[in-house]
Structures are given as C-alpha cells and as structure tokens.
Amino acid sequence: MTNSELQQVKMRFGIIGNAEGLNRAIDIAMQVAKTDLSVLITGESGVGKENFPKIIHQYSSRKHGQYIAVNCGAIPEGTIDSELFGHEKGAFTGAISERKGYFGEADGGTIFLDEVGELPMSTQARLLRVLESGEFMRVGSSKVEKTNVRVVAATNVNIPKAISEGRFREDLYYRLNTVPVKIPPLRERGDDVLLLFRKFASDFAATYNMPNIRLTEDAQAALKAYSWPGNVRQLKNVTEQISLIETNREINSEVLSHYLPKQENSSMMPVFLGGKQEGKTFNSEREILYQVLWDMRRDMEELKRAMKDIMANKNMTDVPAQQVSYPAAQIHYADDTKAVAPINISSVPVQDKENYAEPEEYVETTLSLNEVEKDMIIKALEKNRGKRKAAAKDLNISERTLYRKIKEYEINI
C-alpha cells in the first residue's frame, strides 16, 4: 500500500496517527479485505478496534451487502443464541413471533462480533458450525438454515489463556484467527498521543464554542510518558474534561496531572532476594510461587556454600570464639531500595582437632520452574490415585491444561 492510499484510508475512517504498528494493522486489513477469510482483531480496550471491521467490509466485494456490528458482551447469555441465529415462534417464553437473527440478516454481507471472547460455550459451538459450513439452526427449530456471511471478530481477552482455562474453544479460535490484526496500545504509539490530543481539543473547542486548549512542552512530555490504560477512549475523555473545566487555555504538566489517574506504583513490590528480574513477567500466581521457591532454594545453597568455606578455613583453629558475619541478605525492590537483614552466625571454638568433623561434601543442586511444576503434578496425581479430574481441582487448573502438562512432562501415573 502506498503512503497516499494509507492516508486516504485514515481520512475516510477518522484514524489519527502514524505509528508503525498502526500502519501495519491498516495495511493487513486492506490486504485481507479482498478475500473472504475470517479475521480476528485483538487489542486492549479503547484502542479503536471497531474501525477495522469497517475497513475490511468497505474494501471487500461485500461492501454493498449488510454490515452488522454485534457487541457480544452486552447481550445476556440467555438471549444471545436468539439474537445471533434467530428463533421460532413459541420457542421460549416471550417468543411471540419468529426472528431471523443477525446471521440471517447479514447474508451476503459482513458481521462484526465485538468482544467475541465473552460468548458462552454453547454459542461458540453454534458459531463454529457457521464458520465451517455456513449452516445454523434457529432456536426451537430443527430446520438447517444457510448463510453466506463474512465474520470479523474482535476481543481484548487473552484468548490462549481463556483456552487453557476452558472458557474458549480452541478450534473456534483457529477458525476466527485465520488472519490476525493486532492494534497497538496508545502507550506504544509515541507522538500519536499528541496528534490525537490536538484533534480532540479542536473538536471540543468547536462543539462547545470556546478557545482551543494547548499543551506546554512539559505537559506534552507528561502526556507521552503516561501509560494510558484506557487508551484512545481515555485520552478523549481527559481532553474533554480539560476543555470544559480549565479557564486558562494553556495547560502545563501540573494542571494535566490533576486529570490523569494515579498509576499503580510497583516500585515497592519485592523481587524476593534475587535482585531485579529484568524483562521477566509472570502469567499466574503459580509462576510467582515457583519463582519464590527457586530463589529461596538458591539462597539456601549460597548460605551452605558460605558455611562450608567458613568451617573449612584453617585459620579458625587459631580463633577461640568469634562472631562471623555472613553478608546481609537483601530484598531488592524495583526502585533500587533494599531491605537489609544481616545474618550473624556464632562460630564454635575448635579446641580439639580430633573432635573436629570435616564439613560434608557440598553438592550444588538446581531447581527449575518446570521441575517444580512437574513434581507438584505428580504429587497431586499420587494423592488422588491417578484421578485427573480431582488432581486438576487440587492444582486449581483445568483438566485440559493438566492433560497437556502430563503429556509435556511425560508423566506416567
């Protein structure tokens, strides 16, 4: 796609920004629009995922057909099947007439399923059948209906994690994710945050008939440094608040800070004796526990090694009694502060070499997270006499995850 074509798409759909990740997402959407493949759009809440299904529809051969956007998370579980696939008259209480459903209405067009990760499992099975064969049945009917619909889905849910927890069908994920489009969060878009702020400020100045607000240089730096957990939606909300409330139309960083919610301060979160874990992220409480156990084991090994060196020191026989100080154990925090806990070991005078026992040979052992996890799974299976369902419950994981781990670690119980 040429730069001029890219700019035309942005102007047509009101997309502001020049970040590489954003341009890449638009380029993929334009390329896949010419096909009939299913598309899964992922990104955090508020990044503007709703623009991309429109791009795909308008630049496809289905652009003259129906385009229907459905927020799956806003429809109650009891009525979602009826909304999507329709129902027969009398199918349930309140069904006073038949309903065609969104998939019936969108025949020949495009249906956008927003928040698809919120669909109940029974509805996911119905959706999978539509994707595989174009067939579905209305609620309360045994007649198979046909539809020719292009499905574009979006979610801010971590689908692989939802699959491991048994909340989303793996086969449906691969059907939807034929072509993935990832929208970057605002915090990764650099100067785009300033462009968006200016656009929103200009729009609100025109709407409320008041002078435009401007940011000082320090306010611009603060705007770019903020993490924007609510992304573009949050930025628009903040811009509107400032436009309405502030009488001084030049906004500095101090004024701006009053409109930005305090970010969680992780600087005092301990990293358990191991120093900083640069680039390390944990996906669950279980992984954090494994890391703590690993760090504790390592520090015990270091303590044993230090004791071995002290006891093996020949000069100790000449010292009647003394206090030996082992280097302080330190808990490191993300802001480089340390909680120091000195460890003092009272040595025992060695008066008689015959009574002196040589220190045991020190053998260093290692402990990986995989080994800890494997050991916990084996113990849970042994405790429950090989019953995997009960073991999975004890481990607080799904049976699907347990089966996968058993196969991965080649556990035979």
Co-location of 297 and 234 in the same domain: no
- CA 326 from chain centre, in angstroms, equals 42
Q: Looking at residue 149, what is its pLDDT?
A: 95
* Domains held by the chain: number: 4
Residues 174 and 198 in one domain: no
pLDDT tens track of the chain, all 413 residues?
788 899 999 999 999 999 999 999 999 999 999 999 999 999 999 999 999 999 999 999 999 999 999 999 999 888 999 999 999 988 888 888 888 999 999 999 999 999 999 999 999 999 999 999 999 999 999 899 999 999 999 999 999 999 999 999 999 999 999 999 999 999 999 999 999 999 999 999 999 999 999 999 999 999 999 999 999 999 999 999 999 999 999 999 999 999 998 865 443 344 443 444 444 444 445 555 656 666 676 677 777 777 767 666 655 444 454 444 444 444 444 444 444 444 444 444 444 444 444 444 444 444 566 777 888 888 888 888 888 888 888 887 887 788 778 888 888 87
Strands 144-146, 214-215: pairing kind? unpaired
191 and 179 assigned to the same domain: no
**How, if at all, do strands 67-71 and 110-114 pair?**
parallel
In-domain check, residue 165: yes
Domain closes at, from 184, 218, 244: 184
Q: Supply the range of the domain harboring residue 76.
A: 3-184
Q: What is the CA radius of gyration of the chain?
A: 31
What is the Cα–Cα distance from 284 to 287, expressed in whole angstroms? 5
Say which CATH number the domain at 401 has. Answer: 1.10.10
Write the DSSP string, 86-148. Answer: -B-TTSSTT--S-B--HHHHTTTSEEEEETGGG--HHHHHHHHHHHHHSEEE-BT--PEEE--
Q: What local confidence, expressed as pLDDT, does residue 352 receive?
A: 46
Residue 95 and residue 24 share a domain = yes
